[in-house]
Amino acid sequence: MSNCIKDISHEPAFSMLTQTEENILKRNSTVLQYKRGETIIKQGTFANNMLYIKKGLAKLFIEGSQKRIILTIKMPDNFLGLSSLFYEKKTYLYTATCLEECEIELFDKMAFKHVLAQNVDFANEIIKFLNHNSARIYSRLLCVTEKNARGKVADMILCLANNIFGCFEFTIPLSRQELAEFAGLSMENTIRILKEFENDNLIELKGKDFKILNAETLERISEYG
C-alpha cells in the first residue's frame, strides 16, 4: 500500500484564538501573491515568518550537494515553516515553491510565538500539525529508501491521486523532473517506469493528464516494491 499520509487542514487552529490574539496576528501579518515557480521560502535562509497557504499548491523539498528530494505537496489551509519555529539555527529546513499561483499570508515569527505562549489550545493544535507533518515526511523517506523503483513510482501516483487530487483522473502540476524528484529516482528511470505502467494498462498518460486504470495492481506494486 502507499506510504503517503493524507494532509490535514490547519485552519481549525485559528478558531482557538481570542479576538485579541487574532488582532495581534493580523497586525503583524501581510498577504502576498506568488506566481507559479516562485520561491516562497528557501532552505537555509533565516526564518523570520510563519507562513499560511490561503490559495494554491506548493511543493516542499530539501536539497543536498547533488540531489533534490520533494518531501510533500502542500495544499491550501496549511502552514509553512512551523519546523523552524524553535529550531536553534533559526533557518528554514526546506525550500517551498509554488506549483501554481498562490496566495500566502506571512505572520511575524515573534508575534506568532507570543500568541502560542498565551494560548495553550492554539499551541496544542500547532504541536499536532507538527507531529502530523513529521509523520508524512518520515513516511515519504521510508518509501524513498526502502522500495524498489517500480514501487516508488506506484506510490507516487497513488499519493497524487488519493491525497492531493482525491480522484483517479487528474492533471499534474509537476514536470517530469519534479516527478522524478518526488519518487526519489532519476528522470530516465521515472519516465521508463511510467511508460511500462502505461503499456501494462495500469495508467493512461496524455501530456500532464493522468488517469489510473488499475489502482489495485498499483497498490500491490507499491506495497511489495
Full 3-state SS string of the chain: CCCCCCCCCCHHHHHHCCHHHHHHHHHCEEEEEECCCCEEECCCCECCEEEEEEECCEEEEEECCCCEEEEEEECCCEEECHHHCCCCCCECCCEEEECCCEEEEEEEHHHHHHHHHHCHHHHHHHHHHHHHHHHHHHHHHHHHHHCCHHHHHHHHHHHHHHHHHCCCEEECCCCHHHHHHHHCCCHHHHHHHHHHHHHCCCEEEECCEEEECCHHHHHHHHHHC
Segment 178-213, tens digit of pLDDT: 999 989 899 999 999 999 999 999 999 998 999 999
Q: What is the pLDDT of residue 17?
A: 96
Segment 139-172, tens digit of pLDDT: 777 777 788 999 999 999 998 898 888 899 999 8
Domain boundaries, the chain: 11-144, 147-224
Q: Pick one of 3.40.50.720, 2.10.109.10, 2.40.50.180, 2.60.120.10 as the CATH number of 11-144.
A: 2.60.120.10
Q: What is the pLDDT of residue 2?
A: 54
Average pLDDT of the segment spanning 1-27: 83
Segment 206-224, tens digit of pLDDT: 989 999 999 999 999 998 8
Mean pLDDT of the chain, nearest integer: 91
Q: Pick one of 1.20.1260.10, 3.90.1150.10, 1.10.10.10, 3.20.20.70 as the CATH number of 147-224.
A: 1.10.10.10
Percentage of the residues of the chain whose pLDDT score is greater than 70: 96
Q: Using the predicted structure, report yes or no on whether residue 10 has a pLDDT greater than 90.
A: no
